[in-house]
Amino acid sequence: MDTFSARTLADLPQQAIIHNYLHDNLKGLFRSMIRTGYHRWGFVVYRCAYGDDDLWDRYITQLKKNVHDELVHARRAELLEQYLDWVIIEDCDTLDNASKTDVRRHFNGWVADQVAEAGLQPLRVQLIPLFRYCLYIDQKCLDTLEAFQKPEGDPSAEYPFTIYGRPPMVLVFVDRLWTRSLKGVPKKQWGYPRIEGSSKHYVGWLYRRALSMVATYSELAGDWDEDQPWEYARPPAISPIGDESMPE
């Protein structure tokens, strides 16, 4: 079923999406938007380093470019960019060097306000990745930008798959539903070396390349009932493959 001529959600085959038999790499995103009636999608980005405004601006510009280029390559830019929402949260006084716990607390409050304003029911909220995961950008993440951008003078650098061969541009996904509690956690899922105070295998956040962000969002829309993202590598490894790591 060719749906690439669709220009709005209403142009998509609604029943095929709701019943999950549309063959499309972004079907999780479409299904979330149609089933919930909430058509905004995107990312809430927390700035947690304030030493270099120019570096921050270049990082965000590159992140948005990565998403746009992915949509163009997927032939979904015209359909999905009209619903895309970037929420950039900056506050030097409260977020400079903020911990992931601090950001999770703030994000929970932000989500509560948005859900109340939209009048969404809890079961629908669970289907919307925008309301479960936020992006946390600290100095470590910002420092990955330069190496990622270095190959841009190469004529082949803009080929869709060449970009995956670059050094990784990295960000952090923070899961707002995660807690430190071991209640109900199988014993095999804890007892690991502590990361930021947690010995659980899933520490409530992960490093990830700042590529395939739309596909990742779509996958997360289908993982709402899971305790952790399907493609998870324990930090400092970089998800989804875990073959590269961030500095300790």
- With respect to residue 212, please indicate whether it lies within any of the assigned structural domains: yes
Examine the pLDDT at 83 and tell me if it is beyond 60: yes
For residues 163 and 223, what is the distance between their CA atoms, to the nearest angstrom? Answer: 27
User: What pLDDT is attached to residue 98?
Assistant: 99
- With respect to residue 28, please indicate whether it lies within any of the assigned structural domains: yes
Q: How many domains does the chain have?
A: 1
26 compared with 67, residue with greater pLDDT: 67
Percent of the residues in the chain that have a pLDDT greater than 70, as a whole number: 91
For residues 62 and 137, what is the distance between their CA atoms, to the nearest angstrom? Answer: 13
Examine the pLDDT at 235 and tell me if it is beyond 90: yes
Instruction: Quote the domain boundaries for residue 225.
Output: 15-239
- With respect to residue 6, please indicate whether it lies within any of the assigned structural domains: no
- With respect to residue 126, please indicate whether it lies within any of the assigned structural domains: yes
User: What pLDDT is attached to residue 224?
Assistant: 57
Q: Which of 2-11, 107-116, 213-222 has the lowest mean pLDDT?
A: 2-11
Question: What confidence tier does 158 reach under pLDDT thresholds 50, 70, 90?
Answer: low
CB atoms within 10 A of CB 192: 13
181 compared with 152, residue with greater pLDDT: 181
- With respect to residue 235, please indicate whether it lies within any of the assigned structural domains: yes
User: What pLDDT is attached to residue 183?
Assistant: 86
- With respect to residue 10, please indicate whether it lies within any of the assigned structural domains: no
- With respect to residue 248, please indicate whether it lies within any of the assigned structural domains: no
pTM, two decimals, is 0.92
For residues 216 and 229, what is the distance between their CA atoms, to the nearest angstrom? Answer: 10
Largest CA distance in the chain: 53
